[in-house]
Amino acid sequence: MYNLYKLKNGLRVVTEYIEHVNSISVGLFVENGSRNEVVINSGISHFIEHMFFKGTKNRTAKQIAEDIENVGGQINAYTSKESTCYYIKTLNTHVDLCIEVLSDMLFNSNFNEEDIDKEKGVVIEEINMNGDSPEDVLADIHAKAAFGEDSLSYPILGFIDTVKSFNRAMILDYLKKHYTPNNCVLSICGKFDSKQLEDLVEKYFGNWCVGNEIRTEYTAPILKDNFLFTEKNIEQLHINLGLKGVQLGDEKGYSLILLNNILGGGASSILFQKIREELGLCYSVYSYMLSYKNIGLLNIYVGLSPVYGEKVVEVIKDELDKFIKTGISDDMLSKNKEKIKANYILGLESTSSRMFSNGKSVLFLNRINKPEDIILKIDDINYESISYIFEQCFKPGIVNGAFVGKNVEHKNISLLAQKEVIAYNNIDNNI
């Protein structure tokens, strides 16, 4: 049973009651991430996420963790391009503790200069760790290739130089502008008493009032046609090739999900069967969607020996051409509808996954996407919407890309991709 309502201060609350469970998951979603930043404060959203765990007027950093973990619960957070989420999962008998701890972190965090200085070192180490991962480096430079100077290209972790510049005044000013009740959603899923829950939400979040009533708004960036390369002393070549995708909330996105599943969504997919099973060129190959407000991407990833780099790009382009020309049969359409329905339903078998789904849906789309509604939308996928996706996303071909590795023939890849490959070195993560 779902309930969606708004407090007087503008905070949206979405709850889902599940009778047969004994857990509760609570998440506070903020429509704020690296996309909301500018170059000089890149990474501040992620840094603030860290700082909320460093102690409040009522708890030390250790006590925040202990109060949840001592009752067998879990507490964590994440920052993405467009949102930040703080979440707790416990037995449903501790719902009051979950809501109180989240409110304490939100309203009473200390942001001591000493803690800020310490956490700079932690985040810089996280940036360095990210630089040691070729997949993470690839994701960052592909964002740069696809979105250019738009803030969607900024790394979530920020840059070492910007992280070093953060101070208490910057953090408090950023919080005042972006952490507002009308810009947030409280998502709760599990077994609870509805009246008690409403009273708890009002008690701990009802007095949250700020002057800034501006909701987050995004521009519509133009997808760039860049191809970037970063030299890294590793054995494999890592490749991301970008096609046009669909924006978040686009109803035709379900058709792209289905086509993506056929192209590179699993071991039976076109790319996996051709590149790994038939040709033996790699261990890992898949495709995946990235959907944001006003823009989207469909990415093809492959990691393999540099000697096969040119060959695999040729094969991917050939398979894309075949896919566009042959389309899909009735049998493929039917089977893949069942696949994505199963993947969706299986992904909602915990209170935390349902809490995340509800929270993000209300945060970005201001509505609840009920499972039965999603299933109907999947069932409604037809050849008209499939043709639209082929025309809009696949027929333009590979639009942009990124490469990480060593001993790569730039000119040859350039000819294959029909674009200029630009050397792009951001390994040190300085501006």
Instruction: Please state the pTM of the whole predicted model.
Output: 0.93
Q: Residue 386: beta bridge partners?
A: none
Structure tokens belonging to residue 240: 């991301």
Residue found by looking up tokens 């809009």 in the block: 392
pLDDT-derived band at 427 (thresholds 50, 70, 90) equals very low
- Rounded to 10°, the helix 253-264/371-379 angle is 70
Q: Where are the domains of the chain?
A: 2-205, 227-423
Angle at 29 between CA 47 and CA 91, to 5 degrees: 105
Structure tokens belonging to residue 83: 């949102």
Q: Residue 23: beta bridge partners?
A: 91
Whole-number pLDDT of residue 22: 96
Instruction: State the number of CA atoms in the 13 A half-sphere of 392 facing the CB.
Output: 19
Residues contacting residue 110 through CB under 8 Å, at least 6 positions apart: 54, 55, 56, 57
pLDDT-derived band at 210 (thresholds 50, 70, 90) equals confident
Q: Residue 78: beta bridge partners?
A: 85
**pLDDT, tens digit, 9 for 90 and up, residues 384-393:** 999 999 999 9
d(CA 262, CA 267): 10
Q: Look at the alpha carbons of 82, 88, 91, 92 in this order and tell me if their dihedral is positive or negative.
A: negative
Residue found by looking up tokens 């046609």 in the block: 225
Q: Which fold has domain 227-423?
A: Cytochrome Bc1 Complex; Chain A, domain 1 (3.30.830)
**pLDDT, tens digit, 9 for 90 and up, residues 124-154:** 999 999 999 999 999 999 999 999 999 999 9
Q: Do the bridges between strand 84-91 and strand 23-30 make them parallel or antiparallel, or are there none, so unpaired?
A: antiparallel
The matching CATH number, chosen from 1.10.600.10, 3.20.20.80, 2.40.128.110, 3.30.830.10, for 2-205 is 3.30.830.10
- DSSP-derived letter for residue 109 is B
d(CA 46, CA 80): 8
Catalytically active residues are 49
Q: Residue 86: beta bridge partners?
A: 28, 77
Q: Look at the alpha carbons of 308, 309, 314, 316 in this order and tell me if their dihedral is positive or negative.
A: positive
Q: Look at the alpha carbons of 413, 417, 420, 426 in this order and tell me if their dihedral is positive or negative.
A: negative
DSSP of 119-141: HHHHHHHHHHHHHH-HHHHHHHH
Q: How many Cβ atoms from other residues are within 10 Å of residue 319's Cβ?
A: 18
**pLDDT, tens digit, 9 for 90 and up, residues 183-201:** 999 999 999 999 999 999 9
**pLDDT, tens digit, 9 for 90 and up, residues 50-90:** 999 999 999 999 999 999 999 999 999 999 999 999 999 99
Whole-number pLDDT of residue 216: 74
Whole-number pLDDT of residue 188: 98
d(CA 86, CA 78): 7
Q: Do the bridges between strand 227-231 and strand 400-405 make them parallel or antiparallel, or are there none, so unpaired?
A: parallel
Residue found by looking up tokens 């603030």 in the block: 48
Q: CA distances (Å), 225 to each of 138, 163, 244, 304, 402, in order?
A: 16, 30, 10, 24, 11
Whole-number pLDDT of residue 184: 96
Average pLDDT over residues 421-430: 50
Residues contacting residue 343 through CB under 8 Å, at least 6 positions apart: none
- DSSP-derived letter for residue 390 is I
**pLDDT, tens digit, 9 for 90 and up, residues 296-355:** 999 999 999 999 998 999 999 999 999 999 999 999 999 999 999 999 999 888 999 999
Say whether pLDDT at 421 is over 70.
no
Residues contacting residue 382 through CB under 8 Å, at least 6 positions apart: none
Average pLDDT over residues 237-265: 96
Whole-number pLDDT of residue 420: 47
